[in-house]
Amino acid sequence: MSRASLVFACVLFVAAAHLAAADPAQPVPSGKNAFETGLVDPFLSSYFLRYLLRVSPQDELSIGFSYTGRTNALFGAAYPGSFQFFAPSLGYRRYFWRAMYAEYVLFPGLAIYNDAGAAASYSSFELWNEFHVGYRFEMQVGRIWLTISPEVIAAFPDIRSNEPRSFRTVDEASPAFGWPGFSILPNILVGIAF
């Protein structure tokens, strides 16, 4: 993880904690349903949209779809081709202090590797895990509630059934925290609650 990313994540959480402390009466988010997407994800060639359903005052379930397509590993090493990942997402979010939450999201999906060196394409079943910690802010604009949630994500793969050796070599050469495929990233979610 780059130093700039770590500083960015720390600033977001300090700001969120400061704003939360300024209003001790701030409740847990009130919307029963919401749609969310990420602002930082397009910079990583990753896109998602998900629907959240409030099942209790502190618990939400989510379902969505994501797409990732890139030619570089997250930490700058170049893959010997391109990589695309299509996956539904299933998640659980728990609010544990005001609007601060912890979340687990599971991405079972199809990865397509195009290896330029071997002039071959590989399909792979992959199972990715993400852990999120963030804070959700809500603002009412007319009859619509807008949400913004700064968060930090820890992501790693559990299963990669048919990843080409050339791509695996890139991941193993530049592992984050000694674990190939592991990454910690800041993110900002935006959405509409209703």
Confidence of residue 14 (pLDDT cuts 50, 70, 90): very low
Cα-atom radius of gyration of the chain, to the nearest Å?
18
pTM for this structure?
0.78
Q: Residue 171: what pLDDT?
A: 76
Confidence of residue 42 (pLDDT cuts 50, 70, 90): confident
pLDDT in tens, 74-94: 656 678 888 899 999 999 999
Going by C-alpha positions, the residue among 112, 111, 95 that lies closest to residue 103 is 95
Arithmetic mean of pLDDT over the chain: 82
Whether the Cβ atoms of residue 80 and residue 167 lie closer than 8 Å to each other: yes
Domains in the chain, ordered, with CATH? 3-193 (2.40.160.20)
Q: Is the pLDDT of residue 68 over 50?
A: yes
